[in-house]
């Protein structure tokens, strides 16, 4: 099977064609409670009759090794062989966890991504990153493993509430900020008020693919894609450990982009005017993430576990102007705490 990327109305029929190949012994579909109810009915007509559905709980809390064990147990009970295919139907949790499970089961079975959220369609399902959270840290365990195919059908976005749609939009904004200034300026005009997402998804995925192709294993340029994520992951991880205060990934990334744009100004890379444009736009889409100023140091400490770090150095992606990201920019925990205080005062 060759890796394939299909975006648009033909995506699911093309998935069906791949699953009909003789090299496929059995098809398993991994869904969560929500995608099993809302999205599986759209996918089912394109699946072989003898497929098996594996369902896991919905939400970031389920993105753990314990959930992986449940998936591996079910595959083992069904005696799934190395010619089985796992179709991951869901958002970032399902596509990340499903890819991780497939990569490790019997040293690797093929998997296909059918992302159902905007976040997964423009980011999580593309690029070959898989993983789960561990000890409260986002995506702390994982492997690089390309899916056999990614099938993106924008019709799934109709199943999302506005908050989930906006969460995914943060990654669209990020791609413009690091690699396409014109796209960011267009986003400032159109915002999330888009009737047909197909072209937006295609463009955003193309920007990510171009970066990933240069650096599949994140040794260099791929780190550009982490803009907003050093502070964003720290904030998300901190709040994930506070029951009732959890936020969505894109909401954390949006806050992280404000903080890291401010750090870009402090490092002499970004102008105050550009920072104002970024802030004004992001706050027009996203509500401010709530935390108290006394928590900023504790949140910043989470950045010590960021996967891009080298030893004790926290490596951050910053902006050298809108549309131009720069990676491996060393920042301190104190600077991250200062950026959070800045965000808190806005």
**Is 55 considered catalytic here?**
no
Question: Active site residue: 233, 274, 308, 335, which one?
Answer: 233
Angle CA(308)–CA(125)–CA(61) in degrees, nearest 5? 75
**Is 63 considered catalytic here?**
no
Question: What are 183's strand-pairing partners?
Answer: none
Question: What are 141's strand-pairing partners?
Answer: 132
CA distance 234 to 253: 10
Question: Active site residue: 129, 166, 174, 175, which one?
Answer: 129
**Is 107 considered catalytic here?**
yes
**Is 226 considered catalytic here?**
yes
Question: Active site residue: 60, 218, 251, 335, which one?
Answer: 218
CA distance 52 to 30: 9
Question: Active site residue: 226, 236, 251, 308, which one?
Answer: 226
CA 166, 169, 170, 171 torsion-angle sign: positive
**Is 34 considered catalytic here?**
no
Question: Active site residue: 46, 110, 166, 249, which one?
Answer: 249
**Is 33 considered catalytic here?**
no
**Is 129 considered catalytic here?**
yes
**Is 229 considered catalytic here?**
yes
Supply φ then ψ for residue 134, to 5 degrees: -150, 130
CA distance 15 to 29: 12
**CA distances in angstroms from 121 to 48, 84, 91, 218, listed in the order given:** 23, 24, 8, 20
Question: Active site residue: 46, 174, 223, 229, which one?
Answer: 229
CA distance 344 to 84: 49
| Number of other residues whose CB lies within 10 A of the CB of residue 8 | 17
What residues act catalytically? 107, 129, 171, 208, 218, 222, 226, 229, 233, 249
């Amino acid at each position: 099977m060759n890796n394939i990327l299909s975006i648009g109305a033909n995506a699911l029929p093309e998935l069906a064609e791949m699953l009909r190949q003789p090299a496929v012994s059995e098809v398993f579909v991994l869904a969560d409670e929500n995608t099993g109810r809302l999205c599986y009915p759209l996918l089912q007509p394109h699946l072989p009759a003898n497929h098996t559905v594996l369902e896991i709980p919905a939400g970031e809390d389920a993105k753990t090794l314990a959930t992986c064990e449940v998936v591996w147990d079910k595959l083992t009970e069904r005696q799934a062989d190395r010619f089985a295919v796992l179709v991951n139907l869901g958002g970032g949790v399902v596509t990340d966890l499903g890819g991780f499970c497939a990569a490790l089961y019997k040293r690797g079975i093929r998997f296909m991504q059918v992302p159902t959220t905007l976040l997964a369609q423009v980011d999580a399902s593309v690029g070959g990153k898989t993983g789960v959270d561990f000890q409260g840290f986002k995506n702390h365990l994982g492997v690089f493993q390309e899916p056999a195919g990614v099938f993106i059908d924008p019709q799934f976005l109709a199943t999302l509430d506005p908050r989930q749609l906006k969460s995914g939009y943060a990654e669209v904004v990020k791609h413009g900020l690091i690699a396409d200034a014109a796209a960011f300026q267009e986003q400032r005009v159109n915002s999330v008020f888009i009737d047909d997402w197909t072209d937006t998804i295609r463009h955003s995925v193309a920007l990510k693919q171009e970066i990933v192709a240069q650096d599949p294993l994140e040794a260099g340029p791929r780190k550009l894609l982490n803009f907003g994520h050093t502070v964003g992951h720290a904030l998300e991880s901190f709040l994930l450990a506070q029951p009732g205060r959890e936020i969505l990934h894109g909401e954390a990334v949006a806050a992280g982009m404000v903080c890291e744009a401010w750090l870009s100004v402090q490092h002499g890379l970004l102008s105050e005017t550009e920072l104002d444009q970024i802030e004004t736009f992001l706050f027009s889409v996203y509500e401010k993430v709530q935390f108290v100023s006394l928590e900023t140091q504790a949140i910043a400490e989470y950045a010590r576990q960021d996967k891009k770090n080298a030893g004790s150095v926290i490596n951050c992606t910053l902006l050298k102007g809108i549309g131009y990201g720069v990676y491996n920019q060393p920042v301190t925990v104190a600077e991250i705490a200062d950026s959070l205080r800045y965000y808190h005062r806005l």
